[in-house]
Amino acid sequence: MYQAKAYSASSATSSLASSTIARRDPTARDVQIEVLYCGICHTDLHVVRDEWKEFVPTVYPCVPGHEILGRVTSVGAEVTRFKPGDLAAVGCLVDSDRTCPDCLAGLEQFCANGVLTYNSPDKHLGGVTYGGYSDSIVVDEHFAVHVPSNLNLAGAAPLLCAGITTYSPMRHWGVTKGKKVGVVGLGGLGHMAVKFAHAFGAHVVVFTTSPHKKDDALRLGANEVVLSRNADEMKKHAGSFDFILDAVAASHDVNAYLQLLRRDGAMTLVGAPEKPLPVAAFNLILGRRSLSGSPIGGLPETQEMLDFCGEHNLTADVEIIPIQKVNEAYDRLLNSDVKYRFTIDMASLKSE
């Protein structure tokens, strides 16, 4: 066991502040990673503020962060895939049972015994797991992935959650060249969805309520931008989409989008609004359409996604901040005041 520097919240109403946490000494199968960058996901804010207590109450101190990118500093005796000096990344999962059908299929995100990167029971040290707002992390090598060396490291960190969360459903529902793909909401997840759909060769339409996002959407790879509050503009696209990715976490009308799907079209939620979404049955029945959801991705697909990003030199658009500005960043996140993801430069933690 050793002491690591971290930023943690001591209660649901506390700001994040400098602290020290215990990390386990690497076991035979572990890699120890010096964290270089950690993206800020909206989930971090929800968990720090205990906003999901009905599902999983937050245990304090809480160290969030599951978009972790760093460099391997040491490896256990049985580690085969990493060596000191390698780039390595960790996403939302740090363990799973490795034996269930989901794990055996490389779909660890569905494992009933998955261990999240933070605020999950820690079987090594007791208490809960601590995330990436820290100078180091220790994980089983199975839950670390390789990072193509050509990528901008700060921009690559958000790939571990915002990236895989949008890449995985588009692969699963067959987004390829020639498909017409909609992206609802141009935030952290949405902007990655646009980049991926464009890279897959799809015709990409961004739906937004903000006219000022139009130029940016086009720059990110959209072919068209539709103002979702303009019923006439929406109507022009009726029955034409193969796939729509809905990255909006606030309440909104999914029926307006379901009507835009063609026969057998699929709309997938990656944002989770707090209240149930009203769905009109006829919108599903008439075109044999589906509404589905998708959570992050498994480890093999996370590696595949990073490799794809390496080949296409694709990363998130990030605003790099020092850890000392994390509380301010949370406030700005609540106002959607970021293009499009904050990434913490963890070198800033050394001065604490």
Which residues of the shown chain bind a copy of itself in the complex (CB under 8 A)?
55, 102, 107, 110, 112, 169, 172, 239, 255, 263, 266, 269-273, 275-295
Residue 116: CA count within 13 A, CB half-sphere:
17
Give residue for tokens 């498994």.
298
Between 53 and 263, CB nearer to a copy of itself: 263
Nearer residue to a copy of itself within complex by CB, 156 or 175? 175
CB nearer to a copy of itself: give 99 or 292.
292
Distance in Å, CB of 69 to a copy of itself, minimum: 25
> Is it true that the peptide bond before 61 is cis, omega within 30 degrees of 0?
yes
Q: Which is nearer to a copy of itself, 274 or 311 (CB)?
A: 274
Q: With contact defined as beta carbons under 8 Å apart, do 188 and 163 qualify? A: no
For residue 219, how many other CB atoms are within 10 A of its CB?
10
Please say which residue, 238 or 347, places its beta carbon nearer to a copy of itself: 238
Q: Shortest gap between Cβ of 257 and a copy of itself (angstroms)?
A: 13
CB of 196 to a copy of itself, least distance (A): 17
Q: How far apart are CA 349 and CA 111, in angstroms?
A: 33
**Amino acid (1-letter code) at residue 242:** D
337, 330 contact by CB (below 8 A): no
Q: How far is CA 213 from CA 40, 191, 271, in A?
A: 21, 11, 19
Q: Which is nearer to a copy of itself, 109 or 315 (CB)?
A: 109
Q: How far is the CB of 307 from a copy of itself (least distance, A)?
A: 22
Residue with smaller CB distance to a copy of itself, 123 or 275: 275
The least CB distance from residue 101 to a copy of itself, in Å, is 8
DSSP string, 305-320: HHHHHHHHT----EEE
Q: Which amino acid is at 343?
A: T
Least distance in angstroms from the C-beta of 275 to a copy of itself = 8
Question: Cβ 134 to a copy of itself, closest distance in Å?
Answer: 27
* 276-309 CB burial, b ≥16 within 10 A, e <16: eeeeeeebbeebebebeebebbbbebbbbbbebb
Q: Which is nearer to a copy of itself, 266 or 306 (CB)?
A: 266
Token code pair at residue 352: 């604490």
CB of 173 to a copy of itself, least distance (A): 10
Helix axes 299-312, 162-172, angle to 10 degrees: 100
* Dihedral angle computed from the Cα positions of residues 130, 5, 44 and 140, in that order, rounded to the nearest 10 degrees: -40
